[in-house]
Structure 1
Amino acid sequence: MQAPTSAIVFLNLFIIASICMIDIQCEKERPADKEERKSQIFPPCAACKILTNSFKKGLERTSRGKFEGGDSAWEEDKLGSYSRSEIRLVEIQENLCKEVKNGETQCQSLAEELEGRIEEWWFKHQDAYPDIHNYICIEKTERCCLENHYGPDCTPCPGYPDKICSNNGKCKGAGTRKGNGGCFCDKGYIGDTCSGCAPGYYESYKDEKTLLCSACHMACDGSCGGAGPKDCEKCANGWHTIEGEGCFDIDECTKSDEICPGNQFCINKEGSYTCLACDKACNGCTGDGPDMCIKCAEGHHKKDNMCINSDLLGRKKKENLARYLTYFGLCVAICIILQRNIYAASIIGLLVAIYISVSEYMIAHSDVQDTTANMDILGPA
């Protein structure tokens, strides 16, 4: 009866969700949350980057634009290239920051503050500074640093230019006027410049420019000299040492028959074990399933080395009663909704009809197995 039960639960949830969609208007995003995102404040460099990125998206949007007059060639000749025209600049500025979801208010405020700088770059400095971010955020407003530089004076990060933190970490404050330039090492690396392997890792490759640290085997407690359990300097809990052979898993499940309390059985894992619940037909078991029972649970008996329910017919009656009560409750709900909204009641009534039809169809097909089980219990007629 597992399949029909799962189907009934699923269809119940589907009907409840449908009622919710009909009776309640759900908002995609609460106005308070949207306003909070708009008013979010970022550090100076990040805010400037958001602004210049928005400007770059405007450049992309208008990259295929042209003058709106009838004679484009004449306009290009008389008014100059559209690509660097004031008209294109105005089009970009009118939509600046509109696509920004987090920090839109700050972006718009910064756009107003730096409007003159943006126009200065547009008309005079595009050739010298092809990237507007470098001109606005680094050169003129000094809110950011070049990549892999940090701090008020834009100091180069450790290992600059080609071995930043030994290529195994990130420089704190890189690209901003903040940070101390220290290295935040990737997992498995340690040291001021991330030039060493952390405990639990070993040096798997090294040359003049590259250090590669790989994790020790799970059998190791701390350091190791290689990838396998035989390379451990010390074995972790759940493993034992064999002289000259390395670390081997301890099978905790063979230590005691009572290692797993209650109606559970033991499964050995590398370095550990886990306890899983026996089948509900069992009172003690050696594995999963009703055929692995040591004894049968109350209300069950053994047949062909398998514990089965001794009262399938009684259980069937209870399930039928619960099912019919569910149908009755859905009908009552439709009647209540009908008084308020006939269209909602019609839709929900259709869903209930589908629900009952599918449920009964699946139950009817599962009855073949139930009938077979009942015949096994009752014996041949």
Structure 2
Amino acid sequence: MVLYLILLLLLTEIIIIGYGQDVNLEKSRVHNAAHVVRLPPCQACKFLVDSFKKEMERTARGKFEGGDAAWEEERLGSYSHSEVRLVEIQEKLCSSVERGKDQCHALAEEVEQDLDEWWFNKQGEDLHKYLCIDTLKSCCPDNHYGADCKPCPGFPGNVCNKSGKCKGAGTRKGNGKCICDAGYEGDFCNSCAAAYYESYRDEQKLLCSPCHLSCQGPCNQAGPKGCSVCKPGWFMDTEKGCLDVNECFMNPNPCKGKKFCVNNDGSYTCLACDKACESCEGDGPDMCTGCAQGYSLQDNVCVDEREYGRESHVSITRYLTYAGLCIATCIIFQKNTFIASLIGLSVALYISVSEYFLSSSEKNSSLHPAFDVGKLFSS
């Protein structure tokens, strides 16, 4: 037995270790796959610049627990622009990069002299502009695109009507065409798309809002009154616009078998009747129009015949128990009036408490089963 347990423990440990190794190998594969990803030139340069800036913050904190630029100038002294600090930065450069890590390291080696030049002579200039835009020419300024860094449509203050994005913005790629946000269309995103209407316009702003869900195609205002044509499942009212068709009132009923209809906006859903129902008009045994086999109608509710019979049996048993307790009290009363009085009060209290909890359990099905005296006697 002991040997069996030892073997079982060893087998479990081997499985756990093997599983852990598999997980680690899978994580390693994922990381390696991310590291070798080739990024667009502009994005790769941005990643390198972001990594360089993070290392600048790290070295500032690590040396003096600072990080504020003005504070650095005051406290870091010669270390702020020193070669020692630059070496510390370059040692950790790209270490926090996941996607394109290998590319980041390769680019860092390629532009090492450019970074040295910026570090010692041009720290007053933005590193991204100096390296990615002016030196490598892999990026463009914001809201410029293409090989010549042309301005996007509407530059500077109204690019793509403020309702879209300029294709290739910030890179040396793209054609500068506007990619409109949802609800807008046109070469300059200056008109509303289908299923949207113009809810506001001035010289500088256009606001397109979605049509009501009942509209099929264009609309001219909010709500169902703005629809030109209604979708299937809706009908046009001359005063209120598109109104929902209540399929559940149609004849014949769209739901067949043991199902009932629930109306939705523009449609309907068929849900299964309660198991007590042969047919129904809604959910629950009180909504049956006919009881299923094994169920009978009691007080307009389809109840399980076996359960109903068992409850009747429980009630009879309960009342017989009460009667037995009363008879026993009367017998004792003939021999000892004091004891009989105490027992009588206890019996009365027991009956009152039992009936109270039974009544409560009928109203609240979540009542703890310990209080269900009927079930106690029936067991």
TM-score, length basis structure 2:
0.71
Distance (Å, rounded) in 1 between the aligned partners of 2:42 and 2:374: 73
Q: State the AA in 2 paired with 1:231.
A: G
Match of 2:232 among 228, 237, 258: 237
- Does the Cα contact within 8 Å between 1:189 and 1:196 map onto a contact in 2? yes
Residues 179-225 of structure 1: CA deviation (Å, up to 9, x unaligned): 11111100000001100000111111111110000011112111111
- Does the Cα contact within 8 Å between 1:312 and 1:374 map onto a contact in 2? no
Distance (Å, rounded) in 2 between the aligned partners of 1:369 and 1:263: 36
Match of 1:173 among 143, 168, 180: 168
Secondary structure at 2:242 match in 1: strand
Taking structure 1 as reference, are residues 104 and 225 closer, same or farther at Cα in structure 2, changes over 3 Å only? Answer: same
Q: Gapped runs of 5+ residues in structure 1?
A: 1-19, 69-75, 314-364
Aligned to 1:212: 207
CA deviation after TM superposition for structure 1 residue 54, in Å: 0.8
Q: State the AA in 2 paired with 1:104.
A: K
Aligned to 2:113: 116
Residues 31-58 of structure 1: CA deviation (Å, up to 9, x unaligned): 2112111211111111111111111111
Is 1:269–2:264 an aligned residue pair? yes
Identity of aligned residues (%): 53
Distance (Å, rounded) in 2 between the aligned partners of 1:94 and 1:263: 73
Secondary structure at 1:294 match in 2: strand
Distance (Å, rounded) in 1 between the aligned partners of 2:218 and 2:227: 7
CA deviation after TM superposition for structure 1 residue 259, in Å: 0.4
Matches within 5 A, 1:1-381: 24=16, 25-26=19-20, 27=23, 30-66=27-63, 81-127=78-124, 129=125, 131-310=126-305, 367=369
CA deviation after TM superposition for structure 1 residue 298, in Å: 3.5
Distance (Å, rounded) in 2 between the aligned partners of 1:299 and 1:62: 80
Distance (Å, rounded) in 1 between the aligned partners of 2:375 and 2:171: 73
Secondary structure at 1:295 match in 2: strand
Taking structure 1 as reference, are residues 299 and 33 closer, same or farther at Cα in structure 2, changes over 3 Å only? Answer: farther
Taking structure 1 as reference, are residues 66 and 31 closer, same or farther at Cα in structure 2, changes over 3 Å only? Answer: closer
Distance (Å, rounded) in 2 between the aligned partners of 1:205 and 1:294: 53
| Higher relative contact order, chain-length normalized (CA < 8 Å, sep 6+) | 1
Taking structure 1 as reference, are residues 292 and 244 closer, same or farther at Cα in structure 2, changes over 3 Å only? Answer: closer
Q: State the AA in 2 paired with 1:183.
A: C
Q: State the AA in 2 paired with 1:107.
A: C
Secondary structure at 1:194 match in 2: coil
Q: Gapped runs of 5+ residues in structure 2?
A: 1-11, 66-72, 309-366
Taking structure 1 as reference, are residues 183 and 372 closer, same or farther at Cα in structure 2, changes over 3 Å only? Answer: farther
Secondary structure at 1:213 match in 2: strand
Secondary structure at 2:60 match in 1: coil
- Does the Cα contact within 8 Å between 1:67 and 1:82 map onto a contact in 2? no
The count of corresponding residues between Structure 1 and Structure 2 is: 298
Q: Which range moved further: 29-38 or 135-144?
A: 29-38
Residues 139-185 of structure 1: CA deviation (Å, up to 9, x unaligned): 00001100100111111111100111000001110001101111110
CA deviation after TM superposition for structure 1 residue 239, in Å: 1.2
Q: Which range moved further: 170-179 or 277-286?
A: 277-286
RMSD of aligned C-alpha atoms?
3.1
Distance (Å, rounded) in 1 between the aligned partners of 2:40 and 2:239: 58
Taking structure 1 as reference, are residues 221 and 374 closer, same or farther at Cα in structure 2, changes over 3 Å only? Answer: farther
Aligned to 2:342: none
Q: State the AA in 2 paired with 1:143.
A: S
Residues 118-139 of structure 1: CA deviation (Å, up to 9, x unaligned): 1111111112x1x211111110
TM-score, length basis structure 1:
0.71
Distance (Å, rounded) in 1 between the aligned partners of 2:376 and 2:278: 22
* Bigger CA radius of gyration: 2
